[in-house]
Homo-oligomer: A and B are copies of this chain.
Amino acid sequence: MTTQSAQRQLTAVPFAQVTLDDPFWAPRQEINRRVSIPHMYQMLVDTGRLSAFDLNFTRKVPSPIVLIFGDSDPAKWLEAASYSLVTHPDPALAALVDAVADKIISAQQPDGYLNTHFTAIQPEMRWKNLRDWHEMYCAGHLMEAAVAHFEATGERKLLASLARYADHIGREFGPAPGQRRGYGGHPEIELALVRLFHATGEARYLELSKYLVEERGQSNPHYYDLEAVARGEDPLAYWAKTYEYCQAHAPLREHTKVVGHAVRAMYLMAGVADLAHEYNDPSLLAVCEQLWENLVHQRMYLTGGIGPSRHNEGFTTDYDLPDETAYAETCASIALVLWNHRLLQFAGNSQYADIVEQTLYNGFVSGVALAGDSFFYVNPLASDGTHHRTPWFECPCCPPNVGRILASLGNYLYSTSADGLWVHFYAQNSARMEVAGQSVQVRLASNYPWDGSIQLTLELDAPQEFAVHLRIPGWCDSWTVKVNGAAAQTVAAGSGYVALRRTWHSGDVVALELDMPVQAVYANPNVRQMQGRVALQRGPIVYCLEGADNPIVNLDRVLLDPAQLAAFVVDQQPLLLGGVAVLRGPGQLVTEEGWDSHTLYRRNRPSSTQPVELVAVPYATWDNREPGEMRVWFRTA
A positions within 8 Å CB-CB of B: 293, 296-298, 300, 302, 384, 475, 477, 519-529, 531-532, 534, 537, 553-554, 556-557, 559, 562, 590-592, 595, 597-607, 635-636
Q: Are A523 and B600 in contact (CB under 8 A)?
A: yes
Query: Given A297-B598, A531-B556, A598-B297, A603 and B519 touching (CB < 8 A)?
Result: yes
Q: Are A293 and B603 in contact (CB under 8 A)?
A: no
Q: Which of A475, A525, A605 has the most CB of B within 10 A?
A: A525
> What are 24 A-to-B residue pairs whose CB atoms are below 8 Å?
A293-B598, A296-B600, A297-B597, A297-B598, A297-B599, A298-B600, A302-B601, A519-B603, A519-B604, A520-B603, A520-B604, A520-B606, A521-B603, A522-B601, A522-B602, A523-B601, A524-B599, A524-B601, A525-B554, A528-B554, A531-B554, A531-B556, A532-B532, A532-B590
Name the B residues within 8 Å of A598 (CB-CB): 293, 297
A603 vs chain B, min Cβ distance (A) = 5
Q: Which of B302, B519, B525, B600 contacts A607 (CB 8 A)?
A: B525
A265 vs chain B, min Cβ distance (A) = 17
Pairs A-B, 9 closest by C-beta atoms: A528-B556, A531-B556, A519-B603, A532-B635, A525-B590, A528-B554, A297-B600, A297-B598, A521-B601
Q: Are A636 and B553 in contact (CB under 8 A)?
A: no
CB-CB nearest in chain B for A605: B522
Q: Are A602 and B298 in contact (CB under 8 A)?
A: no
Give the distance in Å from the alpha carbon of A514 to the alpha carbon of B522 in the complex.
45
Query: Given A297-B597, A519-B604, A590 and B635 touching (CB < 8 A)?
Result: no
Q: Are A606 and B522 in contact (CB under 8 A)?
A: yes
Name the B residues within 8 Å of A531 (CB-CB): 554, 556-557, 590, 607, 635
Q: Which of A523, A604, A605 has the most CB of B within 10 A?
A: A604
Name the B residues within 8 Å of A604 (CB-CB): 519-520
Give the distance in Å from the alpha carbon of A300 to the alpha carbon of B384 in the complex.
19
Further pairs besides A475-B603, A522-B606, A524-B602: 17, Cβ < 8 Å: A297-B600, A300-B600, A384-B528, A523-B600, A524-B595, A524-B600, A525-B595, A525-B607, A526-B554, A528-B554, A529-B556, A531-B556, A531-B607, A531-B635, A532-B635, A537-B603, A635-B635
Name the B residues within 8 Å of A477 (CB-CB): 603
A236 vs chain B, min Cβ distance (A) = 18
Name the B residues within 8 Å of A529 (CB-CB): 556
Name the B residues within 8 Å of A525 (CB-CB): 553-554, 557, 590-592, 595, 607
Give the distance in Å from the alpha carbon of A522 to the alpha carbon of B601 in the complex.
5
CB-CB nearest in chain B for A598: B297
A489 vs chain B, min Cβ distance (A) = 28
Q: Are B557 and A602 in contact (CB under 8 A)?
A: no
Name the B residues within 8 Å of A557 (CB-CB): 525, 531
Name the B residues within 8 Å of A521 (CB-CB): 601-603
Give the distance in Å from the alpha carbon of A293 to the alpha carbon of B598 in the complex.
8
Name the B residues within 8 Å of A297 (CB-CB): 597-600
Give the distance in Å from the alpha carbon of A602 to the alpha carbon of B556 in the complex.
22
Q: Are B606 and A636 in contact (CB under 8 A)?
A: yes
Give the distance in Å from the alpha carbon of A346 to the alpha carbon of B207 in the complex.
82
Name the B residues within 8 Å of A606 (CB-CB): 520, 522, 534, 562, 636
Give the distance in Å from the alpha carbon of A489 to the alpha carbon of B59 in the complex.
82
CB-CB nearest in chain B for A318: B597
A286 vs chain B, min Cβ distance (A) = 17
Give the distance in Å from the alpha carbon of A630 to the alpha carbon of B298 in the complex.
23
CB-CB nearest in chain B for A565: B604
CB-CB nearest in chain B for A527: B600
A173 vs chain B, min Cβ distance (A) = 38
Name the B residues within 8 Å of A302 (CB-CB): 601
A572 vs chain B, min Cβ distance (A) = 22
Q: Which of A526, A553, A592, A599 has the most CB of B within 10 A?
A: A526
A9 vs chain B, min Cβ distance (A) = 24
CB-CB nearest in chain B for A296: B600
Name the B residues within 8 Å of A296 (CB-CB): 600
Give the distance in Å from the alpha carbon of A534 to the alpha carbon of B606 in the complex.
8
Name the B residues within 8 Å of A475 (CB-CB): 603
Give the distance in Å from the alpha carbon of A42 to the alpha carbon of B119 in the complex.
54
Name the B residues within 8 Å of A591 (CB-CB): 525
Give the distance in Å from the alpha carbon of A293 to the alpha carbon of B599 in the complex.
10
Name the B residues within 8 Å of A601 (CB-CB): 302, 521-524
Give the distance in Å from the alpha carbon of A346 to the alpha carbon of B27 in the complex.
68
Give the distance in Å from the alpha carbon of A559 to the alpha carbon of B553 in the complex.
25
Name the B residues within 8 Å of A527 (CB-CB): 600
Name the B residues within 8 Å of A636 (CB-CB): 606
